[in-house]
Structure 1
Amino acid sequence: MLWVKAFHIIAVVCWFAALFYLPRLFVYHAQSSDQASIERFKIMERKLYRGIMTPSAIATVVLGFWLVSYSSDYYFSSGWFHAKLLLVALLLGYHHACGRLLKKFAQDQNTHSHKFYRWFNEFPVLVLIGVCILVVVRPF
């Protein structure tokens, strides 16, 4: 069980690193005007999303449910765990939204400013704070 937990934490850290970095790339991409930079950002964004972000998200979810399987009665009867699952579901939605935005950038159809992406980048921070409090404090 400790190995599963360790790899779950590693996957979460990798996923969040990508969730923090991809929207930051969107900020810089939205500010770019020269074609060389635009093409470079497209490559960086695609590789980050497909090579790190999505595999890390999958590993996080699979390993998380593997951990739950050790004490499923406890977890599914705990209010804090239901709240955590809601936050994870919101984060998966955010992940999907990043994928949609990536496609817009890839097709040169971005309609948002760099300021939008600066604010968009803050959402996973709020989720991370909530998940950490729920897992450590278990307030309900």
Structure 2
Amino acid sequence: MPTIDALAPFYPWTKALHLIAVFAWMAGQFYLPRLYVYHMQVTPGSATSDLFVVMERRLLRAIMNPAMIGAWILGVTLILTPGVVDWHAGWWHMKFAGVIAMSGLHGHLSAARKRFAAGERPRTERYWRAINEVPTLLLIIIVVMVIVKPF
């Protein structure tokens, strides 16, 4: 893949901003499924349910969506920076698969938010408890691939 030499001097800033965006995105990925667990425990249409709808919408729109977009843009910028990715190494394939899976989870959580807002109860409380663990597993895969580069 071609790189852009002009990006090299900005590498430390790009990397720092990328990590900040990823941390914010991950915070939302950890918290939104937990909100869904709690949302499942209240009566549909109640004041508490309505409060969860607002909290979920704000978390997704104000934090998670911008953070995901920032993480992707800055991640692609890092890929285009010379010397960051060794395209012959295999670790980046697994890292990229983890990021794609994390993005898919984001989409799944976003679709569920719309259903909660419509008064539906998508899935079960047990399902959301299990989904709450998925971001941790993906984070482990992604971080190990980037830091350890096992293959």
Per the shorter chain, which TM-score range? over 0.9
Aligned with 2:100 (options 65, 84, 89): 89
Q: Distance in 2 between matches of 1:136 and 1:46?
A: 33
Question: Tell me, which stretches of 5 or more residues in structure 1 are unaligned?
Answer: none
Distance 1:80 1:107, change over 3 A: same
Is the aligned partner of 1:134 residue 2:127?
Answer: no
Which residue identity lines up with residue 72 of structure 2 in the other structure?
A: V
**Do the aligned partners of 2:78 and 2:84 also contact (CA within 8 Å) in 1?**
no
**Residue in structure 2 matched with residue 123 of structure 1 by the alignment:** 134
List aligned pairs for 1:17-28, cutoff 5 A. 17-28=27-38
Aligned with 2:66 (options 52, 55, 60): 55
Aligned with 1:14 (options 12, 24, 27): 24
Structure 1 position 72, deviation (Å): 6.6
1:37 is paired with a residue whose SS is helix
Q: Percent identity?
A: 39
Which residue identity lines up with residue 46 of structure 1 in the other structure?
A: R
Aligned with 1:2 (options 4, 9, 12): 12
Deviations 1:16-37 (A, max 9, x none): 0000000000000011127110
**Do the aligned partners of 1:76 and 1:82 also contact (CA within 8 Å) in 2?**
no
Which residue identity lines up with residue 56 of structure 1 in the other structure?
A: A
**Residue in structure 2 matched with residue 68 of structure 1 by the alignment:** 79
**Do the aligned partners of 1:68 and 1:75 also contact (CA within 8 Å) in 2?**
no
Q: TM-score, normalised by structure 2?
A: 0.88
Q: Distance in 2 between matches of 1:81 and 1:60?
A: 16
Q: TM-score, normalised by structure 1?
A: 0.95
Structure 1 position 77, deviation (Å): 2.6
Distance 1:11 1:28, change over 3 A: same
Q: CA RMSD in A?
A: 1.4
